């Protein structure tokens, strides 16, 4: 939208504010989606860095220890690459939880390796090597937030590890929801988020209450007094929009673009004729369009002046010829009249 002032002697075009339609405008209010919950956003963030697919294949197929040796070498290479790519993001988004996520995965790997008979004399070496390397690297990259293996799991029980991770994930999701409750209530996927968190809370509450002594330390990471505290936060979700949008982000973004485009076109359609003239004047005065138009006009003026000169010249010549003819006729006419007079 533009405002314009006219001072009587000359037209002054002053652009006080111009709101340009662009893709960036649709991000001023971010539409939080279910995939933005930390448990989903960071679910696989470590997989590439620890070569998870490789070691998972070694365990599932019970490959020879020589394959595990290759994995350890690849781990040391990929792990630093992953930290280089993600360390800044980790530091901004609950870094201690990101490192706990790493140890949840590693502890399950070590537990599963110990179950393979052919690794009975190698699994301790593998675990010590990976733990030592991981600890030293994380201390270099983020010594302020790193704590070595802060997970309290007895005998690397896989079920306990996985339950601990799920409860930790729930705590982080609850914390995220509490900090972003207004945006979540306005989100197109509010009901999806609400349904997901209610289901997770219900399932994990039963596990927690059955063995609270094993998992209560996790709540202390977030200063939550009890599992019941989660209900208070979940009840804050009331969803302003009752229509759940389960469409893809691409479709959603297209809708936003279309709606903004309609507003943009509507604004243009109601622009007054005077406003259009003023904008045209502004463009002529301040952009290369003005020079182009002036050049075209000058060429037209020169052309028409030259054309007028040619026409004038022809008229003069014709007048001269006409004058000569008329002068002769006048002589005859004068003689004729003079005879009559006699």
Confidence band, pLDDT 50/70/90 cuts, at residue 254? very low
Residue 12 lies in a domain: no
Rounded percentage of the chain residues whose pLDDT exceeds 70: 59
Do 202 and 313 lie in one domain? The reply is no
Check pLDDT > 60 for residue 314.
no
Q: How confident is the model at residue 338 (pLDDT cuts 50, 70, 90)?
A: very low
Note whether 177 and 145 are same-domain residues: no
pLDDT, tens only, 92-121: 999 999 999 999 999 999 999 999 999 999
Whether residues 118 and 168 share a domain: the answer is no
Residues 137 and 202 in one domain: no
Task: Give whole-number Cα distances, 42 to 36, 157, 181, 275, 277, in Å.
Answer: 9, 23, 20, 51, 55
Q: Are residues 334 and 299 in the same domain?
A: yes
What's the chain's Rg over C-alpha atoms?
Answer: 41
**225 belongs to a structural domain:** yes
What are 142-156's pLDDT values in tens digits? Answer: 988 887 666 665 556
Residues 6+ apart with CB under 8 A from 186: 29, 240, 241
Q: Does residue 138 share a domain with residue 205?
A: no
In this prediction, residue 30 carries a pLDDT of: 80
Q: Does 124 lie in the same domain as 66?
A: yes
Is 79 part of any domain? yes
Dist. CA 36–CA 92, nearest whole Å: 15
Residue 307 has pLDDT above 90, yes or no: no
pLDDT digits (tens, 9 = 90+) for 169-178: 999 999 999 9
Considering 112, 129, 151, which residue would you say is the last residue of a domain?
151
Structural domains of the chain, count = 3
Residue 182, token pair as written in the block: 């207004």
The reported pLDDT for the residue numbered 285 is 61
15 pLDDT above the threshold of 60: no
**What distance in Å separates the CA atoms of residue 129 and residue 50, rounded to the nearest whole number?**
13
Higher pLDDT, 247 or 191: 191
In a domain, 66, yes or no: yes
122 and 189 fall within a common domain: no
Evaluate if residue 17 carries a pLDDT over 50: no
Token pair for 91? 């530091």
Most confident by average pLDDT, 22-26, 215-219, 247-251, 286-290: 215-219
Are the beta carbons of 99 and 106 closer than 8 angstroms? no
Q: Is the predicted pLDDT of residue 45 greater than 80, yes or no?
A: yes
Residue 335 domain-assigned (yes or no): yes
One domain, residues 140 and 162: no
With contact defined as beta carbons under 8 Å apart, do 201 and 230 qualify? yes
Whether 158 contacts 108, CB under 8 Å? yes
Distances (CA, A) of 30 to 25, 34, 245, 312: 10, 13, 15, 72
Specify the pLDDT at position 147: 77
Q: Which of 214, 244, 274 is the last residue of a domain?
A: 244
What number is the average pLDDT over the span 117-135? 94
Residue 283 lies inside a defined structural domain of this protein: no
Is position 202 within any domain? yes
Query: What is the number of helices (H) and of strands (E) in the chain?
Result: 13, 2
For 300, the domain range is 288-341
Per-residue model confidence as pLDDT tens digits over 182-220: 999 999 999 999 999 999 999 999 999 999 999 999 999
One domain, residues 176 and 107: no
Q: Are residues 56 and 147 in the same domain?
A: yes
Whether pLDDT at 6 is above 70: no
Query: Which of 137, 26, 160 lies closest to 90 in space, CA to CA?
Result: 137
- For residues 79 and 71, what is the distance between their CA atoms, to the nearest angstrom? 11
The verdict on 79 and 145 lying in the same domain is yes
Distance CA 89, CA 332 (A): 110
Tell me whether residue 4 is in a domain: no
| Per-residue pLDDT, 168 | 98
Among candidate residues 151, 182, 207, the one where a domain is terminated? 151
Burial class from Cβ neighbours inside 10 Å (0-12, 13-18, 19+) for residue 90 reads: buried
């Amino acid at each position: 939208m533009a405002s314009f002032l006219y001072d009587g002697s000359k037209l002054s075009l002053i652009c006080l504010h111009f709101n340009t339609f662009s893709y960036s405008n649709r991000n001023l209010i971010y539409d939080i989606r279910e995939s933005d919950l930390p448990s989903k956003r960071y679910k696989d963030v470590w997989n590439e860095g620890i070569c998870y697919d490789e070691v998972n294949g070694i365990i599932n197929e019970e490959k020879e220890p020589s394959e595990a040796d290759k994995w350890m070498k690849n781990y040391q290479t990929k792990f630093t690459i992953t930290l280089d790519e993600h360390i800044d993001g980790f530091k901004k988004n609950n870094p201690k939880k990101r490192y706990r996520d790493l140890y949840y995965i590693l502890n399950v790997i070590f537990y599963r390796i110990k179950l393979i008979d052919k690794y009975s004399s190698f699994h301790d070496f593998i675990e010590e090597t990976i733990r030592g390397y991981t600890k030293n690297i994380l201390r270099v990259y983020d010594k302020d937030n790193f704590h070595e293996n802060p997970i309290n799991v007895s005998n690397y029980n896989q079920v306990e590890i996985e339950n601990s991770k799920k409860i930790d994930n729930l705590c982080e999701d609850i914390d995220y929801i509490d900090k972003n409750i207004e945006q979540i209530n306005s989100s197109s996927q509010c009901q999806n988020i609400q349904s997901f968190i209610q289901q997770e809370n219900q399932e994990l509450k039963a596990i927690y209450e059955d063995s609270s002594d094993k998992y209560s330390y996790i709540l202390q990471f977030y200063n939550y007094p009890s599992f019941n505290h989660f209900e208070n936060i979940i009840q804050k979700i009331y969803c302003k929009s009752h229509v759940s949008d389960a469409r893809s982000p691409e479709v959603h973004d297209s809708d936003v673009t279309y709606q903004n485009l309609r507003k943009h076109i509507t604004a243009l359609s109601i622009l007054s004729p005077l406003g259009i003239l003023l904008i045209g004047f502004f463009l002529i005065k301040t952009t290369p369009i003005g020079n182009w138009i002036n050049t075209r006009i000058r060429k037209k003026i020169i052309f028409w002046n030259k054309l007028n000169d040619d026409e004038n010249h022809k008229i003069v010549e014709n007048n001269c010829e006409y004058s000569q003819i008329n002068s002769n006729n006048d002589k005859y006419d004068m003689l004729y009249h003079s005879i009559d007079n006699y």
